[in-house]
Chain A
Amino acid sequence: MTTTLDAGRLTHLQRLEAEAIQIMREAVAESERPAMLYSIGKDSSCMLHLARKAFHPSTPPFPLVHVDTTWKFSDMYEFRDKTAAEHGLDLVVHQNPDCVARGINPFDHGSAMHTDMWKTDGLKQVIDEHRFDLCFGGARRDEEKSRAKERVFSVRSAQHQWDPKRQRPELWQLYNARRSNGETLRVFPISNWTELDVWQYIHLEQIPIVPLYFAASRPVVERDGTLIMVDDDRFQLNDGEVPEHRSVRFRTLGCYPLSGAIESEADTLTGIIQEMLLATTSERQGRIIDFDASGSMEKKKQEGYF
Chain B
Amino acid sequence: MAHASDLIATDIDEYLTSHQYKSLLRFITCGSVDDGKSTLIGRLLYESHLVFEDHLAQLAADSAKVGTQGTDLDFALLLDGLTAEREQGITIDVAYRFFSTERRKFIVADTPGHEQYTRNMVTGASTADAAVLMVDARKGVLTQTRRHSYLVSLLGIKHVAVAVNKMDLVDYSHEIYDAICAEFLDFAGRIGIDHVTFIPVSALKGDNITEPSGHTPWYHGPTLMGHLETVPVDDEATSSPFRMPVQWVNRPSHDFRGFSGRVVGGTVKPGDPVRVLPAGTTSTVERIVTMDGDLHEAVAGQSVTLTLSDEIDASRGDLICAADSPAEVADQFEAHVVWMHEDEMLPGRPYLMKIGTRTVGVTIAHPKYRVDVNTLDHLAAHTLALNEIGVCNLSLDRAIPFDPYSTNRDTGGFVIIDKLTQNTVGAGLLHFALRRSHNIHWQDVRVDKGARAELNGQQPGVVWFTGLSGSGKSTIADIVEAKLHADGVRTYLLDGDNVRHGLNRDLGFTDADRVENIRRIAEVSALMVDAGIVVVVSFISPFRAERQLARDRVEDGEFIEVHVDTPLEVAEERDPKGLYAKARAGELANFTGIDSPYEPPEAPEVRVNTSVMSAEGAAEAVVEALRMRGIIG
Contact = CB atoms under 8 A, between A and B. Distances in A.
Interface of A: 1, 3, 5-6, 8-19, 21-22, 25-26, 28-29, 52-59, 141-142, 145-149, 164, 166, 168-174, 176, 178-180, 183, 191-192, 194, 196-197, 200, 203-204, 270-271, 273-274, 277-282, 285, 294-295, 298
Given A149-B81, A173-B262, A56 B289 contact: yes
A29 B16 contact: no
Contacts of A6: 21
A153 to B, nearest CB: 10
A19 B300 CA distance: 12
B64 to A, nearest CB: 14
B235 A9 contact: yes
A174 B354 CA distance: 7
Interface string B114-125: 000001101100
Nearest to A293: B83
Contacts of A52: 291
A148 B81 contact: yes
Contacts of A141: 96, 98
7 contacts: A10-B24, A12-B24, A25-B247, A58-B252, A278-B1, A278-B8, A280-B53
Contacts of A203: 16
Contacts of A142: 97-98
B9 A58 contact: no
B20 A22 contact: no
A6 B340 CA distance: 39
Contacts of B15: 277
Interface string B69-99: 0000000000111110000000001111110
B358 to A, nearest CB: 11
B298 to A, nearest CB: 9
Contacts of A145: 79-81
Given A22-B262, A26-B357, A59-B252, A9 B233 contact: yes
B441 interface: no
Contact of A53 (B95, B104, B123, B290): B290
A11 B250 CA distance: 26
Contacts, number: 207
A261 B8 CA distance: 22
Given A200-B16, A278-B5, A278-B8, A57 B293 contact: no
B20 A200 contact: yes
Contacts of B362: none
A178 B422 contact: yes
A58 B251 contact: yes
B19 interface: yes
A190 B235 CA distance: 24
A180 B94 contact: no
Interface stretch (B408-416, B457-465, B585-593): B408-416
Interface stretch (B214-222, B301-309, B446-454, B526-534): B301-309
Contacts of B410: 172-173
A274 B250 CA distance: 39
A146 B81 contact: yes
A228 to B, nearest CB: 19
Contact of A282 (B54, B252, B316): B54
Contacts of A170: 123, 424
A294 to B, nearest CB: 6
Given A1-B292, A25-B248, A169-B123, 12 more contacts: A11-B23, A15-B24, A28-B248, A168-B424, A171-B123, A171-B126, A176-B415, A180-B421, A191-B96, A277-B8, A279-B1, A280-B52
B431 interface: no
Nearest to B301: A10
A18 B22 contact: no
B174 interface: no
B248 A29 contact: yes
A56 B80 contact: no
Contact of A57 (B247, B256, B264, B423): B256
B12 A274 contact: yes
Contacts of B302: 10, 14, 18
Interface string B94-109: 1111101000110100
A253 to B, nearest CB: 19
Contact of B22 (A12, A166, A279, A295): A12
A203 B17 CA distance: 11
B11 to A, nearest CB: 10
A149 B105 contact: no
A188 B235 CA distance: 27
B346 interface: no
B140 to A, nearest CB: 31
A277 B250 CA distance: 39
Given A1-B292, A145-B81, A285 B424 contact: no
B260 interface: yes
B354 A180 contact: no
Residue of B16, B357, B417 with most chain A CB atoms under a 10 A cut-off: B16
Nearest to B5: A278
B171 interface: no
B145 interface: no
A8 B238 contact: yes
B548 interface: no
A263 to B, nearest CB: 17
Contacts of B376: none
A149 B95 contact: yes
A66 B231 CA distance: 44
Interface string B488-513: 00000000000000000000000000
Contact of B107 (A11, A192, A294): A192
B292 A3 contact: yes
A203 B79 CA distance: 30
B290 A56 contact: yes
B127 A172 contact: yes
A225 B251 CA distance: 54
A274 B8 contact: yes
Residue of A22, A192, A285 with most chain B CB atoms under a 10 A cut-off: A22
B545 to A, nearest CB: 13
- Among all A-B residue pairs, the 6 with the closest Cβ atoms: A12-B24, A21-B303, A178-B422, A171-B126, A56-B291, A58-B252
B612 interface: no
Contacts of A146: 81-83
Nearest to B267: A8
Interface in B15-69: 15-16, 19-24, 52-55, 58
A149 B422 contact: no
Contacts of B97: 142, 148
B20 A18 contact: no
A5 B292 CA distance: 14
B295 interface: yes
B427 interface: yes
A17 B98 CA distance: 16
Nearest to B9: A278
A178 B352 CA distance: 11
Contacts of B603: none
Contacts of B292: 1, 3, 53
A57 B262 contact: no
A5 to B, nearest CB: 6
Given A56-B291, A169-B340, A270 B126 contact: no
